Chains A and B, each alone.
Chain A
């Protein structure tokens, strides 16, 4: 039997557990932290995530993945929350599908270190079909960004 996720906002945590089960997110060891409605995404350090071993710096692909995942999951949560307000039916875990990326641009501001990396998204526009999202990523200091991203997404 498929377990249904209710519309209670506390159950966003349950939604996040489902999303955490996506193989690529498990591969990256992605962790979610929800404070109120604010989502912070974290990638814990892992020796396999290094790009240049001489520095050593986080691989650009890991940084880009963190930013893109943060944007998508933030959009997904906002839509699930809206869905409940619209009095739609609860969704089953199987129905949780992340939005599709149309385009995503990453700016690398400084080298990523082999320590915890965090990201938060800001949804600038979410229509019926398209959404535009900005993401910031940092390590020790929230005000010292090591990467930023902008993306356009198709809401499916």
Chain B
């Protein structure tokens, strides 16, 4: 039985049940209608450039995918499972080493079969995004 998380504790429990999200220590910070904010802490295991200590873009992408998916589930018209159809990430700058990454996603449109989402990721410098995303999800 598929249960849609509708509040913050449920959303965190939901994310904890996704092994890869759990492996990256993802956390849900906020959940509102059609919106989700999630973060992943800095970890030496996910470094992509050993010379600088900057984390790998793939970890940012994984956070974006999960956060966008959660925003879809937080949309009032969505009550079925969904799957990512396309996810596009633009990388603006490397994340500051030692800082956690936070993604804010908004599901801004839903049709009968497709959900559209945009998201932005930051480190502690909120004025300059690390990455932005556009994603589409299939419903059911």
Contacts and interface: CB of A to CB of B under 8 A. Distances in A.
Interface string B48-71: 111100011111011101100100
Contacts of B24: 61
B17 A104 contact: no
Contacts, number: 126
Interface in B60-94: 61-63, 65-66, 69, 81, 83-91, 94
A107 B135 CA distance: 10
A2 to B, nearest CB: 13
A65 B19 contact: no
Interface in A23-46: 23-28
Contacts of B86: 105-108
Contact of A98 (B21, B49, B87): B49
Interface stretch (A6-14, A49-57, A128-136): A49-57
A22 B45 CA distance: 9
A102 B90 CA distance: 6
Contact of A22 (B20, B21, B48, B61): B48
B18 interface: yes
Contact of B19 (A28, A59, A98): A59
B44 A23 contact: yes
B62 A61 contact: yes
Nearest to A64: B61
A54 B21 CA distance: 15
B4 interface: no
Interface of A: 21-28, 47-54, 57, 59-62, 64-65, 68-69, 94, 97-98, 100-108, 111
Given A61-B21, A65-B61, A106-B86, 7 more contacts: A48-B20, A59-B62, A94-B51, A103-B90, A104-B91, A108-B83, A111-B83
Interface of B: 2, 17-24, 44-51, 55-59, 61-63, 65-66, 69, 81, 83-91, 94
